[in-house]
Structure 1
Amino acid sequence: MRIKEICKYARVPSILLLGVVYLIYVLIGGIVFWKLEGDLGKKDIGLLLSAKKKLLSRYTCLNQEGLEAVAVVVQDASKVGLSLKGNKTSDGFWKFTSSAVFAATVVTTIGYGNISPRTTTGQIFCVFFAVFGIPLNMVVLNRVGKYMLVIERKISEFLEKKTKRKRCTRFLVHLVSYLSGAVLFFVVPMIVFQLHEGWTFSQAIYYCFITLSTIGFGDFVADSNPDKVYPEWYSVLMATWIFFGLAWLALAINHSIDILERLNTHSRLWWNGGQKQEEEPGSVEGDTPETQETQVEEEDVEVKKPPIT
């Protein structure tokens, strides 16, 4: 008996199948990262232990206790943005521009982790600032994303009237929109970060995606190297890039979610042999792909209207 017939006979819920696919996807990712990074991590540990032995043998006056004290100083200096190269002074992380960028990373939930409040009042303020700032950020990004969508669809409607080809025009407009956003929010910043931070192109593009997706590992952070002198406009440009890049990437992710939902609908029809699937909890009677398409079109008409100011 084929898998399709087995699933149809067992009446496997779609949410269960989706959960299984999600679990398998995560486990595959874990295996790949384990194989790619596991051996390298062991090599790094071996190199560090070897470097430690060489350091203790070279500087005989430095024992294990002294090495730990030096490590604490280096760690504390990295937390406040102090350079240990030479005797030059540094303003540290908590300049006005860096503080403003930190506030932006809080409300956008990026949270690099390279800088964080250390005072009790600063930590309490950060909690309340995030509680009200995160919803505000979501509302503003949603509104900016709708404006982007309105502009995109206005262009699409204009070209549809000229070409009389609806599907082809929409596809080309979406493609040009995605490519333009990729160039503006990934390629151009990648070049800027490569010039000002000294990263490779792969590290720069990696940092761009980790930032705009709000993952924020913190292994690469722009405008945070205490050994570099950044221009004043650099922080402003970075904050602007983060804001509009988040709005664009959120819009692209929403389009991807819509595509996955449509694929899920077609897959359910395929599992049922093209017949209408029985109603699931929370579903509406007569919710076929045709009615879903009509609902999407009605939502599109509503989105075309500019937001009320």
Structure 2
Amino acid sequence: MMSHRALLFLLLLVSYVLYLVIGAFIFSTLEQPYENQLREKVESLWDDFLQNHPCLSEEKLEDFLRKALLVKSFGVSVLRNISGFEVRWDFVSSLFFAGTTLTTIGYGHPFPISLSGKLFCLFYSIIGIPLTLSLLSIAARNLLILLRDKPLQIIHLHWSISQNKLEWIHAIVLISLLSLLFFFIPAVVFNNLEVDWGYVDALYFCFISLSTVGLGDYVPGEQSSQRMPALYKIMVICYLITGLVAVFLVVEMLKNLIKHNQILSLFLLGCEDGRRAEEIDHVLPYDSEIPFVPKHDETTRRRVPHSVSPTEKSYGSINPTFT
């Protein structure tokens, strides 16, 4: 007979599969009609071109387009009027590629073509990705102390607000501010700097990038008419790194608010040690009369003496009145 934790894990797995199926169905419903329209338009252009150029065979045209699209997929322009801004592997473009690769965003535009470049990218990423993620996590935890723990401690000492309520209010305010600074305002900037991007496209780019999905359908600084493309790409790299720190900060805050470890332990098979963190959290009662102590800093917790409540029995010492 399956245990309670096994049933919960199975329910979680089934829910995730169902979520994938629902997402696939919605994406297919939304995108397939548009794909069919584009295919019909391409076939119409193909027929018109062959009718206007009867001396060109369909096989040669298809072979030329296949080779041109292959070269284009490598990031090399197939147009004759190539400007200096369309070089894909200059230093700044390579820096942009390195930054998006190590942050696991990975737009895929461009990507290494040579065998030596692919091998170097492999070993470079093996070391660089853990290093980058560790750096982002450490920066987020330090910011968590500066932007959450210390302000909450000061507020809790001056106003009699319960810790749980205070944490939720602070989290809502801080997450709203970070969303404004790293999603909505940058979307306005990208909307003005990128010619073909609407505001929704720019907001979509910000979310896809900072969530490290990096589909590559929108890549900044790829237009030949872009002003100061080198400086622009460097600023985009800075935005992506600081934005990922903000995302890590939000994740840490949400984990603390929703008791992430306690919820996770419900799905671990035969894991009773997962409740150790929960037991530690109960060492300090959370009421408004006790000064605020950061949850994650276990070394700073105050032990409540046994004499706090005279009506409660003390199990930590021998009762001297017992005879």
Normalised to the residue count of structure 2, the TM-score between the two structures is 0.77
- Residue 157 in 1 paired to residue 153 in 2? yes
Q: CA deviation at 1:217?
A: 0.9
Counterpart in the other structure of 1:5:
none
1:223 and 1:234 in contact (8 A); partners too: yes
2:107 and 2:214 in contact (8 A); partners too: yes
Q: 1:196 aligns with which of 185, 193, 199?
A: 193
Q: 2:282 aligns with which of 291, 294, 303?
A: 294
The RMSD of aligned alpha carbons is 3.4
Counterpart in the other structure of 1:42:
36
Flag the structure with higher helix content.
1
Q: CA deviation at 1:284?
A: 3.0
Aligned residues: 288
Counterpart in the other structure of 2:306:
none
Q: Deviations over 1:232-290 (max 9, x none)?
A: 42112111111111122123234445556569859x7xxxxxxxxxx9501239x4996
1:156 and 1:170 in contact (8 A); partners too: yes
1:112 and 1:221 in contact (8 A); partners too: yes
Counterpart in the other structure of 2:19:
25
Going from structure 1 to structure 2, the CA distance change for 1:298 and 1:257 (only over 3 Å counts) comes to closer
Q: Deviations over 1:5-52 (max 9, x none)?
A: xxx998862111111211111111111111111222222222211121
What is the DSSP-based 3-state SS (H/G/I as helix, E as strand, rest coil) of the residue aligned with 2:178?
helix
Counterpart in the other structure of 2:312:
none
CA distance in 2, matches of 1:303, 1:39: 59
1:265 and 1:289 in contact (8 A); partners too: no
1:191 and 1:201 in contact (8 A); partners too: yes
Q: Deviations over 1:127-182 (max 9, x none)?
A: 11001101101110111111111112212222222222133332222112111111
Structure 2, unmatched stretches of 5+, are 285-292, 301-323
CA distance in 2, matches of 1:206, 1:292: 41
Alignment of 1:141-290 (within 5 A): 141-152=136-147, 153-165=149-161, 166-198=163-195, 199-257=197-255, 265=263, 280-284=269-273, 287=275
Structure 1, unmatched stretches of 5+, are 1-7, 269-278, 305-309
2:136 and 2:244 in contact (8 A); partners too: yes
CA distance in 2, matches of 1:288, 1:128: 38
1:85 and 1:227 in contact (8 A); partners too: no
Normalised to the residue count of structure 1, the TM-score between the two structures is 0.80
CA distance in 2, matches of 1:161, 1:208: 38
Going from structure 1 to structure 2, the CA distance change for 1:200 and 1:244 (only over 3 Å counts) comes to same
- Residue 140 in 1 paired to residue 135 in 2? yes
1:212 and 1:242 in contact (8 A); partners too: yes
Counterpart in the other structure of 1:4:
none
Moved more, 57-66 or 99-108: 57-66
2:281 and 2:295 in contact (8 A); partners too: no
Moved more, 125-134 or 230-239: 230-239
Q: 1:52 aligns with which of 46, 53, 62?
A: 46
1:83 and 1:227 in contact (8 A); partners too: no
CA distance in 1, matches of 2:176, 2:249: 13
Output the amino acid matched with 1:217: L
Q: CA deviation at 1:225?
A: 2.5
Computing the radius of gyration over CA atoms, which structure comes out larger, 1 or 2?
Answer: 2
1:194 and 1:200 in contact (8 A); partners too: yes
